[in-house]
Structure 1
């Protein structure tokens, strides 16, 4: 019987490196503002963002 925390490092690495719930990830496309480093999922949100004071301030 081993001591707690005395696991094989290779086994720990293998357990951590196995991806889980990959079926819960969905590829998405949208708009990324390179000025503000913000992502918008749809065009109306992107257009509204371009009207904000934050975006205008970051353009200066």
Structure 2
């Protein structure tokens, strides 16, 4: 029932906003300049930065002796 309403479409989909456009110009120019898209982009970039910071902080919990570029070697007995 109602299968006539299901039709194939080709177009452009904004993953940030969840909006579909049939016209490339409208999608890339008008939509990408919209306030909604800009706010969604800001939110996405903020989340990326937050995740990156968390990963950096998690990796920085090494003991002080093990940090740095040159590893610490055991002293040789003479």
TM-score normalised per structure 1: 0.56
Which structure: greater helix fraction? Answer: 2
Please tell me the root mean square deviation across aligned C-alpha atoms, in Å: 1.5
Say which is worse superposed, 48-57 or 24-33, in terms of deviation.
Answer: 24-33
Distance 2:22 2:37 in 1: 17
**Who wins on radius of gyration, i.e. which is larger?**
2
Q: Please state whether the residue corresponding to 1:39 is helix, strand or coil.
A: strand
For 2:32, the equivalent position in structure 1 comes to 50
Gaps of 5+ in 2: 43-78
For 2:20, the equivalent position in structure 1 comes to 39
- CA deviation string 1:3-55 (max 9, x = no partner): xxxxxxxxxxxxxxxxx454554311101100001111111110210011110
1:1-60 equivalences in 2 (<5 Å): 20=1, 22=3, 25-47=6-28, 48-60=30-42
Q: Which has the higher contact order (CA 8 A, sep 6+)?
A: 1
State the number of aligned residues: 41
Distance 1:54 1:26 in 2: 27
TM-score normalised per structure 2: 0.44
